[in-house]
Structures are given as C-alpha cells and as structure tokens.
Amino acid sequence: MMTQDRRERIRTPRAGRHRGDEAAGTFVAGFEALGGIAYAGAQVSANVVDLRNGQSLISVDDRIVLPTASVGKLLLLIEVSARMTAKDAAGFGIVDKSPSDRISGAGLWQHMQAPVLPVIDLAALVGAVSDNLATNALLRQVGLDSVRARAESLGLSKTALLDFVRATRGPDDAPHLSVGSTSELTWLVTALCRGQIVDHVTSQRVLDWMSNNADLSMVAAGFGLDPLDHRTADHGIRLINKTGSDRGVRSEVGLLNGPRAGIAYALTVQFADTSLATRLSVHDAMRVFGLDLLEYVA
C-alpha cells in the first residue's frame, strides 16, 4: 500500500535551479504523469542529473532496487569493451550460434543465416536491438561472473546483470535478468560520458554501441528522433540510450544533449501488466516525462 508521504514525494516537482526561475516548472507534467501511474499501483523510480554541474534535477525513489530487464546488458557491453581495450582474446573471438544460447524475443541474429559472428558485431547487435541470442553468446564468451565482478569494481552495489536471457525462469534461476537503481544508472552513463569507465577508449566504444539503439518507445518517444538513424544531432538533439522491457517492467537509461543543456536520466516502472490499457498508460507517462526532459535541454 503506497503511503501518502510517498505519493507526495512522487508528485512534488524537484526542478534544477541553475537557470533560475526559468527551470522552476519544467518537470511538472512529467511528475503528474508518473504520479498518475503510481496512484494506480505502479512502482516508479527516476533520476535525472545535469551533466554540466552534476546537479540532481529529479529524484524519485532513486535508490530502490527494481528489475530493469535488458538495461542490465549495458554491464555486459562494458565488460566486452574492457576486454577489447586490454587486448584480451575473449574480446576478439569469433563466436558461434550455440544451441544453448538460442532464445526468441528481441534480436536479429536468430533470423540471420550467419552461423558465427565476431564479438564486436555481437556487441553492436546488443547495443542496437538488445539481441538476446547475441547477449547469451557474449556471456558465454566473457563469463557472467566477470560481468558481475566488473560491476562491483565500478562500485555498483544495487545494479547487476543477474543471469543469461531465458524464455522461462524456474525456482533455481535468478528472478530477473537484471536489477538496478536509477541513481546508480545515471551515475554509470555519466561516467561513460566522461570517459571514466575503465578509460576513455572503453567508455566511448560502449557509447558507440548504445548510440545505435532502435528502441525509442519509452522516455525517448518524446524526443521526435528517427529510431533507425539518430547517431548524429537532429535539430540540435543527440540521444544515447539503453532500454529494457519485460512483462510488468519498463526501464530506460540515457544521455540527452541539446542546445541549452545535457542530462543523464534513468526511469524504471514496475507495474501489474494486467491489460493493454495499463501498459499503454505506463508508456504514455514515460513519454510525457521525456517531453519534460526535451524541454529542459532544448
């Protein structure tokens, strides 16, 4: 049962003030939209940080741990990129389609004839279409334990990739593909933006993979960008993001730069996915939240 205090925290805007009164009401519509789905029973976590000064612009239950679906694949991309920077053989191998990796759902490799692909191409597929088969193949290549150790070495205590992608999760499997807090996720993409995850080369490689992401169905739905072509600035707006979708989970983390500002943002919603109307209300709230972010940077 959601307390009145928590409801008020969700509904009360906490806008950045570095531009004075101009920014005071920027996030009202987004807070109202997120508050609406929270009243309906969804669990909402959000965090937004100004990239220029590190100021927290939005903080809604941003330290709680929620399932983040495919957002956790970002940690896999970081590990793969770090292996490549270190000239580790695992970062340059040719990986085959193993029957044990096969999984339906998101991705293109399952529909392609190529029986093997280089690690760098598999990472590109994960960044662009969150490819499940490529994810499992890369996890087999570098090891899930290595991904977890990398996350811990970065100081992440609430954000983790827990498992391979599975069609069903039994009692012996991790309950979710990944979990995370939005405060840690915004820190992570901010550090990538600053070249601080391992080093500049490693960070930039991960951002390049993310920049091809074709999923603009959530927060990024409010940005008006071409889902298949937004690697360069469009009307002064540049986006790099990673999304995650599962039944009852919608999550997105990203970097949004515009003519007036740049921000790191993360939003996760966990909800009872009992009807299409409920799901659409979540997507609509995320889009409205995105419109507020666009207004801030543009």
Instruction: State the residue for tokens 């969700």.
Output: 10
The answer to whether 285 and 34 are in contact (CB under 8 A) is yes
Q: For residue 278, is pLDDT > 60?
A: yes
Q: What is the mean pLDDT of residues 157-171?
A: 89
Higher-confidence residue of 252 and 9: namely 252
Higher-confidence residue of 23 and 37: namely 37
Q: For residue 14, is pLDDT > 70?
A: no
* Residue 291 pLDDT grade (very low, low, confident, very high; cuts 50, 70, 90): very high
How many CA atoms, within 13 angstroms, populate the side-chain half-sphere of residue 199? 6
3-class secondary structure per residue, 41-64: CCEEEEEEEECCCCCEEEEECCCC
Residues 169-195: b if buried by 16+ CB within 10 A, e if exposed: eeeeeeebbbbbbbbbbbbbbbbbbee
Does the pTM surpass 0.75? The reply is yes
Query: What gap in Å lies between CA 40 and CA 135, rounded to an integer?
Result: 34
Query: What gap in Å lies between CA 155 and CA 287, rounded to an integer?
Result: 31
- Among the listed ranges 79-83, 85-89, 206-210, 260-264, which one has the minimum average pLDDT value? 85-89
The predicted-structure confidence for 226-264, as pLDDT tens digits, reads as follows: 999 899 999 999 999 999 999 999 999 999 999 999 999
- Among the listed ranges 17-26, 30-39, 74-83, 275-284, which one has the minimum average pLDDT value? 17-26
User: Per the structure block, which two tokens stand in for 282?
Assistant: 């979540």
- Among the listed ranges 58-67, 167-176, 272-281, which one has the minimum average pLDDT value? 167-176
The answer to whether 78 and 197 are in contact (CB under 8 A) is yes
The predicted-structure confidence for 132-156, as pLDDT tens digits, reads as follows: 999 999 999 999 999 999 999 999 9
Q: For residue 20, is pLDDT > 60?
A: no
The burial of 102, by beta-carbon neighbours within 10 Å (0-12 exposed, 13-18 middle, 19 or more buried), is given as middle
Q: What is the mean pLDDT of residues 48-65?
A: 94
Q: How far does CA 179 lie from the centroid of its chain?
A: 11
Q: For residue 12, is pLDDT > 70?
A: no
The answer to whether 254 and 244 are in contact (CB under 8 A) is no
**Nearest CA among 290, 269, 256 for reference residue 68:** 269
Distances (CA, A) of 6 to 25, 60, 86, 180: 21, 9, 46, 20
* Residue 52 pLDDT grade (very low, low, confident, very high; cuts 50, 70, 90): very high
The predicted-structure confidence for 102-118, as pLDDT tens digits, reads as follows: 776 778 888 888 899 99
How many CA atoms, within 13 angstroms, populate the side-chain half-sphere of residue 42? 33
Q: What is the mean pLDDT of residues 40-55?
A: 94
Question: What does the mean pLDDT of the chain come to?
Answer: 88
The predicted-structure confidence for 170-191, as pLDDT tens digits, reads as follows: 888 888 999 999 999 999 999 9
Three-state DSSP state, 294: helix
Q: For residue 222, is pLDDT > 70?
A: yes
Three-state DSSP state, 14: coil
Three-state DSSP state, 269: strand
Q: For residue 207, is pLDDT > 90?
A: yes
pLDDT of residue 75: 98
